[in-house]
Each structure stands twice: as structure tokens, then as C-alpha cells.
Structure 1
Amino acid sequence: MRIPGPGPRDDGGAGAIAEAGGLHLYQRWLHEEFGPVVRFQLPGAGTAVSVADPVLLEDIAHVDERPAELFAFLSPLCEAGNLQVIPGAEHEPWRRLLLEVLAGRPSHQRHFDRFTALAEELADRWARQGRDGTVALQKDLTSLSLRMICAYALGGDFGHEGGSDGSDGSDGNSGSNGVVDADAVVSAFEIVLTEYVGHADSAPPRAAEALAYLRATVDRVVSAHRASGRTDRSDLIGALVEAGESPARIRDTVMVTMLAAHHTTGVAVSWALHLLGQHPDVAARVTDELDRVLGERTAPDYADLRRLPYLDRVLKETMRIYPPGPYGARETTEAMTLGAYEIPAGTALFLPFWAVHMNPEHWPEPERFDPERFAPDAAAKRPRLAHIPFGFGPRSCEGAQLATVEALLVLAVLLKRLRFSPVPGHAVTPVERFVLWAADDILMEVAERDADGRGVGGGSVSPA
């Protein structure tokens, strides 16, 4: 049976994607128009097959290859081969090592206090800033998440704001006592992300300099690990050193981890605060839970996160409506049957996470924000792959559990102390920018909560 889909276009499908407003919107239209399995033109991959049925996704969950051409834009970051498309046989042991660290409780606990301090620094700044104006959620929260993942990836050598010697780090040297200059790392990484990734051939000189600085910084931390003899496998670099990975592979792994992780937490928390600002009843339930669990404390302990089930549902529902990465891709290595269709070897399989999350068969009124969809009884009635914000199978995100811990922590710290309400007249429009991003950021009015949970300080504040 022939797979349904739109007719071919001379431009390889680029025009159809542009007319829809981006690939993130085009893939939703495709499945609304043609059903759960669609054939379409995907620039860079020729013809692809997109699958939005969570039951059929089970049949391709084992596929461990990715279309190299779709991930070629990341190749300039990697000196030991593009880690996103390394062959399955090489990928499997490397993935096991990353999961041992990134998904491990000892690793999360080791860094939890540092993450908490960073989140509280932002809460302090927003409390002051909210008295005089608005805050831009994405800008500040992605900066926070980058600081968190840098602290995680670079271990205890990652300093607080600013280098200890006051330098900007541009000479590739850390401050005194070997502390990495946090501001310099964050600044360099933003330059690499915006000016180098996807533009290596035309990037300005400062982009290459920023990449060289980041690599030199990672190399210094790796050297310090080797010299100290540390073998703590709850530390990313330490685990890679102990596993005998080459210096280039360690450096690439740290860089790609920073790239993959730094947007995820910040974007997820931004969308969560946006949705809570629109739903004051849900926001009230979250703050009631936080007050009950934390009491007078302004931040949770690691163990407290398990005692915040409603906050966890809010985060899951947020990532259903606004998945940080709206899609993924795999490539078949042999012919396979998918429902009523035959899929040839070498086919690019498109994984439209956003379309899966908006499938009305499994998510009635899919646009509606309802955290109770993730109550245990409701969740048990859905297919396993109906909710896949971090992907699925052997190429799913190794840092999913770490990102969840970070997001829950940041939300708990912010919502325990602050109240958020939308800025009147500010439109929030999802666009595709490596992740599902708001085109003009998400502006919010912020006020501190008083003992009764009401907003205090600053201008007018809604019940959200």
C-alpha cells in the first residue's frame, strides 16, 4: 500500500515548510491532513516517512541509526566523529556510559546544591527586577540552564558568576586556583551556538575563537582530573577519563552535552511559567503543594522532588504541549513493515514529537492545559509512546532524568518565592530555533509572594 502524503515539489519541499511557518507546524498539518503515517519531502533527506501513531512507533523503537545528512550541521563541533550519528555498534557502549552518569542519582545529588544556588541567584535577581519592570523568561532561564549544565559537565572547577581573577577568560586561562570563569564559558558558548553551529563555513573569527576557548577549557579540566587521579563516576569528565575515552572524544562529549542540555531545561521552565500564568487555578495548586512540602524553606532538598507529584504533572503536561525538541529522525538499515506499509532500507524516519503529543485519539482536546492527564490512572490508559518529550529508543536523550531534576528544582525555587502573570498585549508565538522557542521571548510580570501566597511589591499582579 502506498503511503499517503502531499505531491512532490521542485524545491524539494522547502517551500511547503516555509508556507506552513516552519517544520514544527508543517509536521502537525501533515498528520492532520493525511493520517498517522505520511510520506513527504524533507530537505536534506529526500523523501521521509513521518510516524505520529504511538503504537506504530513501538515498531521502530529499536532503530539505532540516524540520517547523517540531517545532523551534519553538528559535525564542526566534533573532532572525533559526529556523536549524533556514530554507528549503532559504537553508540551503544558510549550511551551506556553516559546513562550511568547522567541518569544516576549520585550524580544528581552531587550537583544539587550547586544547582540550587544558581536557581536562588536568579530568584533573587527577578525579585529585585520585578519591582521595576518585567522579566524575559527564555533569555534568563536558558542562561541559567547553561550555567547549570556547565557546572555539571565541568565539575567542581566551574565557578560562580565571573572568574576569580576578574578576567573575561578570552585568553583561554582560568582564574586563580584553577576555577573556570563561568561568565566567559557562558558567553563563549552562546557565540558558538548562534554564530558557529550550522554556519561554520561563514562564521566570523570570534566564533572560531570562542570554540577554541571552550575546547581549551575542557582540556584543562580533563588534565586536572588525570593529574588528581579522581575516579568519581558521578562526574561526567571523571567517568569518561576512567573509561579510557580519548581526549578528543571526552572534549566532544562535553561540548555536545552542553549543546543538547542547555536549552532543554530553560525552555521547559519558560513554557511552564507561561502556562501557569494563564491558569491561576493550576498555579495555586502548585504553590499549595510547595508550601505543604517545604514549609518555610525556600528551596527543596533532592528528596523533596519525589514529594511534589503535582509539580511533576505540570512539567509533563508542559512538555506535551510545548516539547523542547519538536521532532527527531532515524534511518532504517533494513526493510521493515510498519502497519499496512512496507518501508525500504535506507529510509529516513521522521519522528514528529509535537504531532504525537497533539494526537486527539490519545489526548482529547489536545490544546487544553490539564496536568491531571498525568495522574497515574489517566497515564496508565495511554500507549507508552504517547508522551515522548525526550525521544525514545536507543537514541533518546541520555540527559532526560537530569533535565527533569533541574526543571523541577528551578520551578520549585521560583514558584515558592515569586508569582508570575502575563504582560498584557505580549503575544507568545512558538517558533523553531533548534528547540521550540517563543519568537519574542515570554515576558512576565513578577512579584514576591507574601506569607498568604499573594503577590507583594511591584505593580499589579494577577492571581496567577
Structure 2
Amino acid sequence: MPDDGIDRIPGPPAEGDGVKAIVAAGGLHNYQLKLHTEYGPLVRFPLPGADVAVSVADPVLLEATAEINKRPEKLFAFLEPLQESGNVQTLPVGEHVPWRRVMLSVLAGRPAHEAHFAEFTALTAAMADRWAEHAGDGPVQLQKDLSKLSLQMICEFALGSGLESEESAERVVSAFEDLLTDYLAQLYQVDVGVPEAERRARSEEALTYLRGTVDRVLAEHRERGTAERADQSDMIAALVTAGEEPARIRDTVLMTMMAGHHTTGVAISWALYLLSRHPEAADRAAAELDRVLGDRAAPDYGDLRQLTYLDMVLREAMRLYPPGPYGAREATEELRLGDVTVPAGTVIFYPFWAVHMNPEHWPDPETFDPERFTPEAAAGRHRLAYIPFGIGPRSCEGATLAMVEAKLVLAVLLKRFRFGLAPGQTVTPIERFVLWAAEDIRMDLTPR
């Protein structure tokens, strides 16, 4: 190891029990905040599945890693049971680049967003109607309901049709929860409150159910034909047209469903939570909606560009509570980070939450302040100071779609309701591969 190599990076003892330290901190997301507070913007630490990783919480240092196109296979091995065609998250560059190009052509394209927008609006309105109907029955559970809504939306987008029923959506959400509970228990060797044999059985049953659900919809899609909207808004048809094999298409749909419903649902819930704690910001968002929408209950696609304050609220919420709190890459060649050189093969850890809480780039970082995202404020900030969807060629393909969905849902809900945090609860962020609330977020609704 060269003198200026990885050993020069500060951090906890390399021989320490990384799993025990992570569990004691309350999860990897909290552990990262603790490490960077104690050791600075560049930290070396023992990471389960990677021996030693280098965590980078400074956007200037992140620049050197921005073009890495490799994820550490061991860290993403927990997803392999979901995959038949090779882990979609760790595809080698030669396969990943064309696959990503197809995904972006649909997920990031305005034609696709517009084609599905009316159905997204109808699904959101239907949930709001149910909330209104049961308003006197007690608070709503934001993350439960919004994750289910986000799943319905991503299924409509990815599968070309919705799920059969509300019960189907709930069953799919539950199946993903059973899978993730099992994967978390294996990754951190922790007690999740379910005996191992029962946990594994539920995980296997969940995987069978999810595969069967996707296979059924893929069969229906084949019967309808794949030519319609193939280049613009039909993800399955685009993958077929690109020559992807059936197993890869199913794997892609499953990963899109899992990633899309978790991240978008929790992002919306954290935004509503913050607005409930800052009524002046909630009033300003509602006033903007009244001005842009008038008497209409929901925006058109073109209205979203005019909802600038709502966009700022959402971005600030994702800074304070990034839906996916971390990511990782593997250095494919020797890498210089400031005055330190790390060798090829090193796991580079991206602690998104710690980056977003870096006081050098975010003054008073724990304060909720949507004004951080005015054009003037954003222009003066390093481009990698804000990375809720990751960076570089392995960043989230669904980022643009997620923002469209989240702004639509927030617009519909804030036009219709005022949100008040139900008394007697403590909202605690925990790690479930997304930044979840431990006991959900219970919210009282008042019609506007």
C-alpha cells in the first residue's frame, strides 16, 4: 500500500465489528452521519460485504468518482433472488449502457409522462376520495397509503395496466416488505422479530407471488401487442424492441416496481411531514396551488412547471430525508481523492444523507428551508452537494418520473387537505433500504 493510500484516511478501527457498530447506531444511515461528524468528509470504515469502504461526504471529492460505472457486486448480492438474467443493478458496462439508454428513453421522456398523467391523476384522486370518506375515523398512515399509491402508479407505467384491485396493490407492497425484511436480517444478522424459518418462508412465498404477478401482466401485454407506443411510453415494448430477453424484461419490471414505489411514496410522506411542522410553508404552497389551478382539483402536466414553490418544498424534503440514503460504487482504476490515492477495487460509499447535511455546503443543515432551492441559491452551490438520486452513469433512471409523480400527488393533496401531525407520536427515520419512518407517519386531515 503506498504511503498516501487508504491507510491515511481517518476512520474507526479496521478490526472493529462493522455490523455491531451499524446496528448500535440505528442503521447505516445514522452510522454515516456519526462517522462523518467524527472523522470529517473522507472516512474509511468496515462495511459488511466489502471489508473496508471509503465514504465520501464532500461534493468536491465526489467529482473524482462521478464517472464510475460499476457497483460492488457483493453489496448488491441480496437482490440476486429477484433476478434470473443477471443482477440488473450490477450489470457490466457493456450490458448496462444500452439497457440504461432504453430505460431513460421511456422513464425520462415527456411523451411517456404525458401519456400516463391522466391515470396517475385518477389514482391520486381516488386515494384522496377514500381519505375524505374516512376522515372521521382517525389519522391516515402516510407511508402505508402513499407507498401503495406509488406502487399503483409505477405498475400502470411499467406494466401498461394497473393491478387488479386495491387488495392486489396491498399484497404486492406486503410482498416487497417480506423480501426486504429477510434481506436486511441476512445483511446485518439482526433480529427482525420474526423467527428465521418463518421469515425465509414468507420471503420465498413473496418472491413467487411477485414473479407470478409480473408474468401474468407480461402475458396480457403480449396478447395486446407491443407495437403501440413502443418508442415513447411503453417500457415493456421498448425493452422488447431493444431485443431484451423475457427474463431480463421481468427482472427490470420487478426492480422498477420495488424501487419506484418505495422511494416516491416515502419522499411524498416526508414532504407532508415537514409541511405539517411548518404551517407557513404549507400556506405558501397552498396559495401557489390556488393561484395556478384556480378551482381545478388537480394540475395538468403543463401546470407542474409553474408550481415552483412546491418543487422547492419537495427538493428540500429530499435533502433532509433522502428516500435512498446511500449508494456505492467500485473503483475500476486507481483513484485520487484530494491528497489520498485509493487502489482499484476499493468500494466508494456515497452517504447521500451526510452529503446533504454537510455544513460547508448547507449552512444550518438541519433547518427546513425551501428557499435553498431558488435558482439563485442553487446556482451558487456545487452540483454534487445535492444528490438524492445518486450521481453518474449509475444514478436513478426514474428520477424525472419520480419528480413528476411526487409533485402531482402533493398538488392534489395540498389543494384538498390541510395536514396536521397526529399527537402522541415520535417520528423516527429508520433504514429499510429507503429512509422509512419507524412507526409510519400518522396525519390528521382537515378539508380546505
Q: TM-score, normalised by structure 2?
A: 0.92
Q: Does 1:102 align with 2:102?
A: no
Q: Does 1:118 align with 2:123?
A: yes
Q: Does 1:183 align with 2:182?
A: no
Find the aligned partners of 2:101 and 2:138 in 1 and give their Cα distance.
Answer: 46
Q: CA deviation at 1:211?
A: 2.8
Selected match of 2:89 from 84, 88, 97: 84
Find the aligned partners of 2:60 and 2:367 in 1 and give their Cα distance.
Answer: 23
Change (3 A) 1:318 1:57: same
Amino acid at match of 1:439: A
Q: Is the 8 A contact 1:99 1:398 kept in 2?
A: yes
Find the aligned partners of 1:228 and 1:35 in 2 and give their Cα distance.
Answer: 56
Matched residue count:
427
Q: Is the 8 A contact 2:176 2:258 kept in 1?
A: no
Deviates more, 1:229-238 or 1:29-38: 229-238
Find the aligned partners of 1:430 and 1:224 in 2 and give their Cα distance.
Answer: 39
Q: CA deviation at 1:412?
A: 0.3
SS in 1 for 2:88: coil
Q: Which residue of 1 aligns with 2:153?
A: 148
Amino acid at match of 1:187: R
Q: Which residue of 1 aligns with 2:13?
A: 7
Find the aligned partners of 2:115 and 2:205 in 1 and give their Cα distance.
Answer: 32
Computed over aligned residues only, the root mean square deviation of the Cα atoms, in angstroms, reads 1.7
Deviating 4+ runs (over 4 angstroms): 199-207
Q: Which residue of 2 aligns with 1:365?
A: 364
Find the aligned partners of 1:442 and 1:189 in 2 and give their Cα distance.
Answer: 17
Q: Which runs of 5 or more structure 1 residues have no equivalent in the other structure?
A: 163-181, 450-464
Change (3 A) 1:23 1:422: same
SS in 1 for 2:136: coil
Find the aligned partners of 2:318 and 2:16 in 1 and give their Cα distance.
Answer: 35
The C-alpha deviation readout for 1:373-405, integer Å capped at 9, x for no partner, is 000000000000100000010110000001100
The C-alpha deviation readout for 1:235-258, integer Å capped at 9, x for no partner, is 111111111110000000000111
Q: CA deviation at 1:448?
A: 0.6
Percent identity, aligned pairs only? 62
**Matches of residues 228-267 of structure 1 in structure 2 within 5 Å?**
228-231=224-227, 232=229, 233=231, 234-267=233-266
SS in 2 for 1:68: coil
Amino acid at match of 1:356: V
Find the aligned partners of 1:278 and 1:194 in 2 and give their Cα distance.
Answer: 32
Q: CA deviation at 1:10?
A: 4.3
Change (3 A) 1:242 1:384: same
The C-alpha deviation readout for 1:48-79, integer Å capped at 9, x for no partner, is 00001111111100001111111111000000
Change (3 A) 1:223 1:423: closer
Q: TM-score, normalised by structure 1?
A: 0.89
Q: CA deviation at 1:29?
A: 1.2
Deviates more, 1:204-213 or 1:313-322: 204-213
The C-alpha deviation readout for 1:310-359, integer Å capped at 9, x for no partner, is 00000000000000011000001111111110010110000000000000
Amino acid at match of 2:266: V
Selected match of 2:177 from 193, 218, 231: 193
Q: Is the 8 A contact 1:222 1:241 kept in 2?
A: no
Change (3 A) 1:21 1:311: same
Find the aligned partners of 2:202 and 2:44 in 1 and give their Cα distance.
Answer: 41
Deviates more, 1:228-237 or 1:260-269: 228-237
Find the aligned partners of 1:317 and 1:50 in 2 and give their Cα distance.
Answer: 23
Find the aligned partners of 2:443 and 2:259 in 1 and give their Cα distance.
Answer: 26
Q: Does 1:212 align with 2:217?
A: no
SS in 2 for 1:446: strand
